[in-house]
Chains A and B, each alone.
Chain A
Amino acid sequence: MKTLLIGATIFSVMLSEVEASLAQDTTQTSSNQNAISEKSGKTKAIVTGGAFIDFSANQKRDVKTNFDRTGFSPIFLWKLSDRLFFESEVEIEIEGGEVGVDVEYAKFSYVLNKYMAIGAGRMLTPFGAYVERLHPAFAERFPNAPLMMHHMDGMHAIGPNGAEMGVDVRGGFQLGNSKMNYALYVSNGPKLNNGSEDKMMAGSLEYENFYDNNSNKAVGGRIGFLPFSNSSLEIGLSGNSGIAGNAKDSLYKNIRATAYAIDLSYVKAIKPIKSIIKITGQLNSVTVDKANYKDPMDSTGMMTYTFNNVSQVYYLQVAFRPALLQKSFLKDIELLGRYNSLTYPKEALWGGGTTTRIDIGLCYWLSWRAGLRFAYETQKNPDGTTSETFLVRFATGF
């Protein structure tokens, strides 16, 4: 009994010492944090970004279920002064057993005044709203992007749907109770595939070109209008035009690609039903000047073919979340629906007509930036075949 009492006394003394030490540590940590924030200096930086892992199931594939891809995209943000800023995103992905690393963007910006900033570098092209604002894995509610709204290697790009090298000026300002924003840019522009490297892709475009293939630079811009003072609705109009042909290629050096886009975003909390509704959509269209391409079926190499090179893609996405419910797991569930339509020229060897896709899904939010996404996707291809895929993605921002 005596031993027990001595042991209990020693333990309580030790416990009080630990508590006092922790209190000191907490006080010291708080003091350190205050000191750090007061002396943080003019240079401020943060590493944010996102990560994801994908799973899919498709009965028509040879491998019916698969953990498809995983990716990690750190975003580096440096506020070097009240006017100078640098941002960069690196995409690291594993797919098909291969690791891909890409600099999604690396851009300097300098704030000239309240209404204008100038930027230069590799930048997400302000064509529509999806690429600049909605494509990050932690922002996109579905497990995947809408058809051709984000760049895909080996596919004909319908307008700049990724990042380009260039310079831009941008800003936002109030117009009475409404707002407007703008972004104007000059970039390396599109590159025409003339069929010399891949005959099946003749007439298709690539936009993410580190090196320009001609001295002509593409010009473009986006204007956004928010008519309501609560910023719930934004409508954007975008345009882009540039020579796509190679300067050394006499047949194609004057071929121009002209694209436009319309985007829509509506986000509103509807208090009577304690929910937030979000509607987003975008339409991209690109026209490439008519040209003659070598017929790959002709062994003499003399026969050519041509076609009206006009492509269009659009999507409309609706999300519904009872986020204003107080005590219910329903507030973390977001119901999703999306319709996609992609039309390539029927006569193009990479074209074939219209592909439509319908996605139905839900996102379960574990926090404001981490969510588990499920979707059932049905796609109808130009040749009449269909496919059904079940997709799952866990994505988080940080």
Chain B
Amino acid sequence: MISVIIFSGIIIALSGGCASTETITAKSGAQLWGENCMRCHNSPSPADYSDAQWETIGMHMKLRANITTDEEKKIVEFLQSAN
């Protein structure tokens, strides 16, 4: 188990995990969409759902994945503008 943790740490360090230092307020909705969605599943295309559906999905993700309110708002606005 310890070797597993060390292996994970090496992978994270080599891939430059701590590169960016932007806050949420400085990021675009597209950037937040790319960073957050793929943490659990592949990022859906904006065209896959309507504005109303994105609003519902966004709230579901806020409550399930605990993304911040600001992230939810920016991501949903981006998806609604790009669908």
Contact = CB atoms under 8 A, between A and B. Distances in A.
Interface of A: 33, 37, 40, 44-46, 48, 77-79, 85, 87, 109, 114-115, 117, 119, 132-134, 136, 138-139, 170-174, 176-177, 179, 181-183, 224, 227-234, 264-268, 270, 276-279, 281, 283, 314, 316, 318, 339, 341, 365, 368-369, 397
A266 B17 contact: yes
Interface in B38-78: 38-45, 48-53, 55-57, 59-60, 62-71
Looking at chain B's contact residues, is the secondary structure mostly helix, strand, loop, or mixed? helix
A104 B72 CA distance: 25
Contact of B63 (A87, A179, A228, A278): A87
B52 A37 contact: yes
A172 B22 contact: no
A352 B65 CA distance: 36
A134 B40 CA distance: 6
B38 A276 contact: yes
A234 B56 contact: no
Interface of A is mostly: strand
Contact of B41 (A117, A227, A397): A397
Which of B15, B16, B19 has the most A CB atoms < 10 Å from its CB? B15
A277 B64 contact: no
Interface size class, chain B: 35 or more
A136 B59 CA distance: 18
Interface of B: 1, 4, 7-8, 11-12, 15-24, 35-36, 38-45, 48-53, 55-57, 59-60, 62-71
B56 A177 contact: no
A136 B39 CA distance: 14
A174 B56 contact: no
B39 A46 contact: no
5 contacts: A44-B55, A48-B57, A172-B66, A279-B11, A314-B4
A278 B59 CA distance: 25
A227 B66 CA distance: 15
A79 B56 contact: yes
Contact of A172 (B18, B19, B68): B68
B22 to A, nearest CB: 5
